[in-house]
Amino acid sequence: MLSSSSAAAAAAVVLTTTSGRAPLLHLPRTPRPTTAARIAAAPDSCRARAGGAPLLLGSAVPRRRGWALVCRDSSLPGPPGVDPVAEEEENRKKTEAVAAAAAARIASSGGGGGGGGGSLSDWTTSVLIFGIWAGLMYYIFQLAPNQTPYRDTYFLQKLCNLKGDDGFRMNDVLVPLWYIMGLWPLVYSMLLLPTGRSSKSKIPVWPFLILSCIGGAYALIPYFVLWKPPPPPIDEEEIGQWPLKFLESKLTAGVTFAVGLGLIVYAAKAGGEDWQEFIRYFRESKLIHITCLDFCLLSAFSPFWVYNDLTARRWKNGSWLLPLALIPFVGPSLYLLLRPSLSSLLAATGPSDDKTQ
């Protein structure tokens, strides 16, 4: 025991004496890793954690408080209860819902605007037609020439066959014009029934057609203002009843076309003196003046109703008749003669087509 204690004491004395004279032995030290090196070493530590042993970043260096960093590999599953596939699908659905909502807002502002634009266009057209009709009424009662009221009464009696033969010869242009004006209500009845009826406004067309026998276009224009397509559905039983059976008859259309064409030819063959006299009547007589305006209005509106009837009957091969409809009376009456009947249209379409229509 004494020998070992003395040996240890001697060694301590030797170290103490040498430390004051000679430098200590240089020992290698591990350099402290930088922050970038620790970040780069994070995946290795994470893989070590995946193996079951949790590691702390910087375990190879002297530990200091606050430097512990726990990492998780991106290939590992997420927190319990969260499915990545379901979460991605939910995010996709949310994105699609947002896109659909945006499209709906665009449709409501644009498409709704389009629908609103269509309603605005219909409203504007109705107001415009009503303004034309109101202006015509004002012109007829306030501004139209009325220099020969007594002669107008006499002409009216002669044209209605209320006055016998007194030796006075009526104008050869005025007489055909008067009888053609009696055919125009029939033409419009064949155009407006049934394809020109209004289903949205619930306003019947037949009262206006009856009034047009006396008032002509001046009685029909208010219906044009109130008209709102499409027409109500129709079945074969209604076609076989009055008045559609009469209005759809080719015999009615043929007689109307033949009589109208004959009256126009008769007026065209009138001499120059008759035409000069008729022009003078137009400038002086309110009856003849408003009758000529009525003929022009009926001729101007008829091409539209020809197109409406042609579209409703789905007659694609009859588009060549549209330019001919611009010819006063002859064009619309020729269309009525050549158009397909509603009964043949219903026979050509199947039951499924009828339900769709």
d(CA 267, CA 260): 11
Q: Which two tokens stand for residue 285?
A: 């007589």
Q: Beta-carbon neighbour count of residue 126 at 10 Å?
A: 15
Helical ranges in the chain per DSSP H: 2-19, 35-40, 42-50, 84-106, 112-138, 149-159, 174-192, 206-215, 217-226, 236-239, 244-247, 250-268, 272-284, 286-312, 321-324, 330-338, 342-348, 351-356
Q: What is the pLDDT along the chain (357 residues), one digit of tens a residue?
A: 434 444 444 444 333 434 444 444 444 455 555 555 554 555 444 444 444 444 333 444 444 444 444 444 444 455 555 566 677 777 777 766 655 554 444 333 333 333 334 455 678 888 999 999 999 999 999 999 999 999 999 999 999 988 888 888 999 999 999 999 999 999 999 999 988 888 777 789 999 999 999 999 999 999 999 998 888 887 777 777 888 889 999 999 999 999 999 999 999 999 899 999 999 999 999 999 999 999 999 999 999 999 999 998 888 888 899 999 999 999 999 999 999 888 777 766 654 444 434
Residue 228 near residue 201, CB atoms below 8 Å = yes
Considering its fold, how many domains does the chain have in total? Answer: 1
d(CA 270, CA 37): 114
295 inside domain = yes
56 inside domain = no
The CA–CA distances, whole Å, from 13 to 3, 5, 16, 21, 41 equal: 15, 12, 5, 13, 47
For 222-226, which contacts have Cβ atoms below 8 Å and span 24 or more sequence positions?
222/130, 222/133, 224/129, 224/301, 225/126, 225/129, 225/130, 225/133, 226/126, 226/198, 226/201
One-letter amino acid identity for 181?
M
Residue (of 36, 28, 32) closest to 63 by Cα position = 32
Domain residue limits at 243: 122-340
Q: Beta-carbon neighbour count of residue 346 at 10 Å?
A: 15
328 inside domain = yes
129 inside domain = yes
d(CA 173, CA 178): 9
d(CA 314, CA 304): 15
132 inside domain = yes
Phi, psi of 34 (to 5 degrees): -80, 175
Confidence (pTM): 0.64
Residue (of 230, 212, 228) closest to 220 by Cα position = 212
Residue (of 344, 178, 122) closest to 249 by Cα position = 344
Q: Beta-carbon neighbour count of residue 224 at 10 Å?
A: 20
113 inside domain = no
318 inside domain = yes
- At residue 113's C-alpha, the angle toward residues 110 and 114, to 5°, is 90
Q: Which two tokens stand for residue 113?
A: 């605007």
347 inside domain = no
